[in-house]
């Protein structure tokens, strides 16, 4: 009886020893079924930059070759080059872009290849992020295994394995500009400036900040609308972060009216008169240089300072021009009486006889008014005159 119990107990022990062996076999198989491919890329990138897309492979000892496709969006990325990582002894790789957005990669193991389950093969692909509107957004990059063989020429179980990764591409602001670099505005007028972002498809959404160097001359609101207040110059600035653009603004006050002020109603031949220009508004910003001109220099002339000189009897028009605006004034030139002359300077007269004398005026035509002639004798004992 004791012997029979011992046999049963021994059988139970044997079963207990066998069960762990059976349950351990799948664990060993899981260690063999380790990951084979990893595909990684930066989560974010910017247009115009170059990124690294890494393909890392953890092949089994029995692998002989892999044929892979790297698929990417040709509107966002452009393949530039590939490089096999350090330590991949005995590995040969061929690269061939077979179509837009499709890169074929052939990986083969040479005789000198040595690896264990923890070794990896790294291939880094250089990709250019295109500087286009279409590149902005999220794009996928895909690894597709379409052929794998072992050392005996058999197929491995990696065919049709697919790995995906994605990258989000933005377009940082590079520069801003204004639609006008300079402006000339009349007082009271308004103009609106427009900001252009470079690139125009930038993903930057920051608000434009506007400012005026001298808001008393011209102010600007946060929509870029400029209002001219008084004559002068100022700089309007638009800024987005570190980027800025400026516009030089000149505010002008137009000339509204021009007139000539003369001191006397008339001048004599040979005499002079200063003419003075009056203009409105007094704070006009136009060039205040006056150009003078006589429309009849035979009667009166005028110099560059507005001094009129009478030449002969008559009326002349004097013109003054400032900032393209002209005005005129009539100047009357009078001929004064220079002198008178008796027709006979001396003569002989018989006692108690009479003789009529006449007087001539010099010049004969003049503008002086003579009410009457007053005659006198220097010695009435000799001769009298009425």
pLDDT score, position 116: 45
pLDDT score, position 60: 61
pLDDT at residue 2 is higher than 70 = no
Q: What is the pTM of this model?
A: 0.65
Closest CA to 328 of 298, 284, 290, 299: 290
Q: Do 53 and 39 form a contact (C-beta atoms < 8 A)?
A: yes
Q: Do 293 and 362 form a contact (C-beta atoms < 8 A)?
A: no
pLDDT-derived band at 142 (thresholds 50, 70, 90) equals very high
Mean pLDDT computed over 313-340: 89
Strands (E), 180-294: 182-186, 190-192, 195-198, 209-212, 218-220, 225-228, 232-240, 243-252, 257-262, 266-268, 272-280, 290-294
Query: In terms of pLDDT, which residue wins out, 335 or 192?
Result: 192
pLDDT score, position 6: 41
CA 231 from chain centre, in angstroms, equals 24
Closest CA to 129 of 74, 55, 205: 74
Q: Do 208 and 238 form a contact (C-beta atoms < 8 A)?
A: yes
Residue in this structure with the two tokens 């207990």, named with its chain if needed: 16
Q: What is the DSSP letter of 206?
A: P
Range scoring the smallest mean pLDDT among 122-126, 178-182, 199-203, 337-341: 337-341
Mean pLDDT computed over 269-277: 92
Mean pLDDT computed over 327-338: 87
pLDDT score, position 252: 95
pLDDT score, position 335: 85
Instruction: Order across the sheet with 272-280: list the strands.
Output: 257-262, 272-280, 307-310, 300-302
Query: In terms of pLDDT, which residue wins out, 77 or 20?
Result: 77
pLDDT at residue 301 is higher than 70 = yes
C-alpha pair distances (Å), 278 with each of 23, 267, 272, 281, 309: 114, 21, 20, 10, 20
The pLDDT tens digits of the residues spanning 150-166 come to 666 666 666 667 889 99
pLDDT score, position 369: 66
pLDDT at residue 8 is higher than 60 = no
Alpha helices by DSSP H, listed for 38-184, are: none
Query: In terms of pLDDT, which residue wins out, 332 or 10?
Result: 332
Mean pLDDT computed over 356-382: 69
pLDDT score, position 130: 96
Mean pLDDT computed over 211-229: 97
CA-to-CA distance for 192 and 212, rounded, in angstroms? 13
pLDDT-derived band at 364 (thresholds 50, 70, 90) equals low
Residues near 171 by beta carbon (within 8 Å), at least 6 away in sequence: 46, 47, 133, 135, 136, 199, 201, 202, 203, 204
pLDDT at residue 20 is higher than 60 = no
CA-to-CA distance for 62 and 64, rounded, in angstroms? 6
How many helices (H) and strands (E) the chain has is answered by: 1, 29
Query: In terms of pLDDT, which residue wins out, 120 or 129?
Result: 129
Q: Do 161 and 145 form a contact (C-beta atoms < 8 A)?
A: yes
pLDDT score, position 84: 86
Residue in this structure with the two tokens 């240089």, named with its chain if needed: 289
């Amino acid at each position: 009886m004791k012997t029979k119990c011992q046999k049963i107990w021994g059988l139970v022990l044997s079963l207990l020893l066998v069960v762990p062996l059976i349950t351990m076999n799948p664990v060993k198989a899981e260690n063999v079924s380790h990951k084979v491919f990893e595909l990684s890329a930066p989560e974010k990138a910017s247009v115009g930059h170059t990124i690294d897309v890494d393909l890392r492979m953890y092949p089994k000892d029995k692998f002989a070759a892999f044929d892979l496709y790297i698929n990417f969006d040709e509107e966002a990325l452009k393949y530039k080059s590939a490089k096999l990582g350090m330590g991949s002894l005995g590995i040969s790789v061929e690269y061939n872009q077979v179509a837009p957005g499709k890169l074929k990669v052939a990986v083969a193991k040479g005789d000198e290849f040595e690896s264990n389950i923890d070794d990896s093969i790294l291939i880094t692909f250089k990709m250019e992020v295109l500087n286009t509107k279409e590149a902005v957004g999220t794009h996928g990059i895909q690894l597709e295994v379409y052929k794998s063989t072992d050392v005996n020429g058999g197929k491995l179980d990696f065919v049709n394995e697919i790995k995906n990764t994605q990258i989000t591409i933005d377009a940082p602001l590079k520069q801003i500009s204004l639609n006008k670099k300079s402006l000339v505005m009349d007082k009271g007028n308004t103009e609106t400036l427009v900001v252009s972002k470079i690139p125009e498809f930038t993903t930057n959404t920051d608000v434009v900040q506007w400012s005026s160097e001298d808001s008393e001359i011209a102010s600007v609101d946060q929509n870029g609308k400029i209002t001219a207040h008084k004559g002068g110059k100022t700089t309007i600035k638009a800024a987005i972060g570190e980027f800025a653009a400026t516009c030089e603004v000149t505010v002008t006050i137009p000339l509204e009216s021009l007139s000539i002020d003369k001191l006397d109603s008339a001048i004599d031949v040979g005499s002079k008169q200063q003419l003075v220009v009056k203009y409105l508004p007094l704070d006009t910003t136009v060039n205040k240089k006056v150009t003078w001109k006589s429309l009849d220099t035979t009667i009166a002339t005028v110099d560059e300072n507005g001094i009129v000189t009478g030449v002969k009897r008559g009326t002349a028009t004097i013109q003054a021009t400032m900032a393209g605006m002209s005005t005129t004034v009539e100047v009357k030139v009078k001929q004064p009486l220079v002198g008178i002359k008796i027709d006979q300077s001396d003569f002989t007269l018989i006692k108690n006889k009479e003789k009529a004398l006449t007087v001539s005026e010099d010049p004969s035509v003049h503008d002086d008014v003579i009410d009457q002639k007053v005659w006198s004798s220097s010695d009435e004992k000799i001769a009298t005159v009425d």
